[in-house]
Structures are given as structure tokens and as C-alpha cells.
Amino acid sequence: MNKLQLRRYAKLLAKTGINVKKGQWVMVYAELDQPEFVEMVVEELYRAGAGEVTVEWTHQPLTKLHYKYQTEKTLSEIQKWEIEKWEYRKKTLPAMLYLESEDPDGLAGIDQEKMTNVRINRMKVIKAYRDAMDNRYQWCIAAVPGKKWAKKLFPSLSVNQAVEKLWDEILKASRADGADPVREWARHNDNIAARCDYLNRLGLVSLEYKSSNGTDFTVGLLPQAQFMGGGEIDLNGRYFNPNIPSEEIFTSPKAGEAEGIVYSSKPLSYQGEVIDNFSVRFEKGKVVEVKAEKNQALLEKMVNMDEGAAMLGEVALIAYDSPINNAGILFYNTLFDENASCHLALGRGFTNCVVDYDSYTDEQLKEMGINDSIIHVDFMIGSKDLDIVGVTKNGERIQIFKNGNWAF
């Protein structure tokens, strides 16, 4: 891979993704797959003004060993040093950069009930810290190739060729394959903002989805919420891009207002396993039935993680004719696949979708209709013939999507 282009990508993550401020502490989370690129990112973060950069390495095979040999009780325990670390993070609010590269099937074979219980038990403690930090720091999720991930996507190539090919696709999808990715993202953010402005002027109260694959679904929208996309601004006034790549325009719907059935258009990688060819049926805002050709039991566990896991936290609009979908590749990674076509998310909603959200308490936001959960899981429903109609408070029906793409 061209090192100059990788350097440009690293600069994009530092300047556009995180938009690091002078003297800021940045934490980087990465697997062991691309240490040389992590070095580049760290250097670019320092060049952008970071005062300190901390790298925390993870390794999926070790996670699998821990779940194989440790008891559920041991895995669920949160040690004193972990609490102190969360307390320090809450106090200092470092920017966070996550570099994904995991094998989509890397945790296959793990006892999923054990993993689910551990997650629930740990989140009883961790969630309070997450809520306290929400919308108060910059963060960005991006990707680098992992060998097993690359081979899953390109099995006919050698490992080195597959990794090289995946680098190409990541850079293309991330709009980081040109001479000035930072400038390209500025244009991209402007285009997304223009669409958001149009949608927010319509005063929509619901969206109706229909597709020939069987999707027939209506979701209620919050009158106080707005459509967002691209860059965001935290409560300290810092602009950042939480996802690179990102093609979506999204909002948090009204919890408890969803009716009908949706069919997945792409597989979902969840907890290190793949759920495929599935449907989700809603009544009175909650999931009442799920079906899947692969890993139905895992899907059922997911929607029963807590009360909010069975309700929607996000609706996202992405043209079927998007750069990622046009690549013709199934990434088996939600960061990319969710940006290939329209998706929904079960679980936690985004409080910052509400206008002047910082003037409300968390309880008020929940009462308003922002869903809460320990999970937030995106799954893709966009198809070539998906139609979406928006309904205004006056009953006017406006075509938002026609044949999978924007109608305006």
C-alpha cells in the first residue's frame, strides 16, 4: 500500500475524524493487525496538536480464550482499577479513536448466553459512566485491514493480496483515496448538511417503508428531533466526524411507535458471529418476532438484552446508489455495510438529535421518546426498490426515497 496515501488517511482521522485540539489527550483502540499504521495515526494526532496519545491494544483470539476458560462471575466482575479508569475518563474526557479490523466470525463458538450475561452484568456499572460522558467528547470509528477479515472478503487471494485489496476498498469507501481527503470530507459534510436542512424543514411525524422483499413498516418520529449526518458538535463546541466512512442521514425515532415488518438486506456481524437472512416484526413500537436463517438464537438474545433492546434508537437514510454499495462488496462490518443502504438500529437512541438536548435531563429525554438501552445495533434494510414516504403533521405525504434512492 502506498505509504503516502496511508499518511493522508491517518491525517484525515486526526484532523477530520477527531479534530484534535491543542493539548488534548487522545485514546486509540486498535487490534494488533496494523501497528505501522497506528504509529502513523499517533504521529498525525501529535502533529495536529494532541498533548498525549494513549494506545490500548486488543486481540480477538485472547477474548475468545477468556470466555472459554474464565467463569461468568469472573468475567462479569469490574475491578477497582477499572472503576478508577472510568472515573478518570469521566473527569478528563479524552477524545477516542477506534480502529476496527476484527474477524467477523472471530468469536464463533463462544457460549453466547455467557457472553450476553457478562455484557449485561458489566453494563450495570459502566452505563452510568457512558451516560455521564455522552456528547461531551469527540470520537471516531474507522477501519484498517485485518488478515482474517481480508481473507473472508477475498478468499481467492493470498493473505498479502487480500490485505492490500481491503486497504484499497477501505480508502475508497472512506473518501481517502485522493490527494486531499480532508478537503473532500469538507465537501461531503456540506452535501449531507444540505439534505438534513431540507428534511428538517418538512416537519415529518412518520416514515413509511415498502419494498418487494416484504418490508412494510411505519415508524414515528419525534417532533423535537432533527435529522443529522456527517460531522457533529459536542457540548464543548468541538466539531468532529464520528464515523469514517459515513453516508447516512439519521435521527432517533419515537420509542414505542413502530409497526410492521422489515427484512434485512445484508448480514449482521454481532458479538463476533454473523446473523443472516433475517426479519424483525414490530407491534406498538416493540419487537414481537424475529426470524433468521442463520443465528436466530443470537438475534433473539440481542433483542432481549434489556427492555430498550426491543425498540428502535435510530432510523438512517442512505442511497442504494451509494459509493459503498456500488463497490459490490459485502464488508461483514457494520461501519461499512450500514453506510451501503438504509438501516435501522435497535437499542439506545441519540439524545443529541433533540433540539437543545442539553437543556433536558436524561429522564425528560426518555419521556420525550428517546430510547435507552445497553445496546445500539445497526442492521441494513435498504434495497433496490425501497420506497420511503414521509408524512407531515398536516397529513401531507412526501416521497423521500424512490427505488432505493433519494427522491429529491
| Residue with the three cell numbers 475524524 | 17
Beta-bridged to residue 292, according to DSSP, are 278
Last residue of a domain, one of 173, 189, 204: 173
Helix, strand or coil, per DSSP, at residue 352: helix
Sign of the torsion angle spanned by Cα atoms 16, 17, 23, 29? negative
Q: What angle do CA 4, 9, 14 make, to 5 degrees?
A: 125
**Pair (345, 202) in one structural domain:** yes
Amino acid 198: pLDDT: 97
**Pair (165, 194) in one structural domain:** no
Pick from 174, 180, 169: nearest CA to 145 = 169
**Pair (185, 332) in one structural domain:** yes
**Pair (185, 46) in one structural domain:** no
Helix, strand or coil, per DSSP, at residue 84: helix
C-alpha cell at 126: 459502566
**Pair (152, 192) in one structural domain:** no
Last residue of a domain, one of 173, 189, 216: 173
Pick from 303, 320, 304, 296: nearest CA to 380 = 320
Which residues neighbour 128 within 8 Å (Cβ) at sequence distance 6 or greater?
none
**Pair (247, 287) in one structural domain:** yes
Sign of the torsion angle spanned by Cα atoms 298, 300, 306, 309? positive
**Pair (16, 139) in one structural domain:** yes
- Backbone dihedral region for residue 285 (phi beyond 0: left; psi -120 to 50: alpha; all else: beta): left
**Pair (212, 145) in one structural domain:** no
Amino acid 1: pLDDT: 81
Query: CA of 136: how far to CAs of 133, 180, 232, 235, in Å?
Result: 5, 29, 11, 5
**Pair (22, 153) in one structural domain:** yes
**Pair (372, 223) in one structural domain:** yes
Reported as a single tens digit per residue, the pLDDT across 346-381 is: 999 999 999 999 999 999 999 999 999 999 999 999
CATH number at residue 167: 3.40.1830.10
Q: Count CB-CB contacts under 10 A for residue 243.
A: 20
Establish whether the linkage from the previous residue to 253 is cis, with ω within 30° of 0. Answer: no
Is residue 333 within 8 A of residue 143, CB to CB? The reply is yes
- 238, amino acid identity: R
Amino acid 272: pLDDT: 85
Report the number of distinct structural domains present in the chain. 2
What is the rounded distance in angstroms from the CA atom of residue 13 to the CA atom of residue 59? 22
**Pair (136, 66) in one structural domain:** yes
Q: Kindly give the confidence (pLDDT) of every residue in the chain, 408 residues in length, as a single tens digit, with 9 standing for 90 and above.
A: 899 999 999 999 999 999 999 999 999 999 999 999 999 999 999 999 999 999 999 999 999 999 999 999 999 999 999 999 999 999 999 999 999 999 999 999 999 899 999 999 999 999 999 999 999 999 999 999 999 999 999 999 999 999 999 999 999 999 999 999 999 999 999 999 999 999 999 999 999 999 999 999 999 999 999 999 999 999 999 999 999 999 999 999 999 999 999 999 999 989 889 999 999 999 999 999 999 999 999 999 999 999 999 999 999 999 999 989 998 999 999 899 989 999 999 999 999 999 999 999 999 999 999 999 999 999 999 999 999 999 999 999 999 999 999 999
Separation of CA 161 from chain center: 28
Last residue of a domain, one of 173, 192, 212: 173
**Pair (218, 235) in one structural domain:** yes
Which residues neighbour 255 within 8 Å (Cβ) at sequence distance 6 or greater?
285, 308, 311, 312, 313, 349, 366, 369, 370, 371
Query: CA of 228: how far to CAs of 140, 241, 370, in Å?
Result: 16, 12, 15
List the domain range (segments joined by +) for residue 380. 181-406
What is the rounded distance in angstroms from the CA atom of residue 322 to the CA atom of residue 341? 7
Reported as a single tens digit per residue, the pLDDT across 235-293 is: 999 999 999 999 999 999 999 999 999 999 999 989 889 999 999 999 999 999 999 99
Pick from 270, 293, 220, 263: nearest CA to 375 = 270
Q: Count CB-CB contacts under 10 A for residue 376.
A: 16
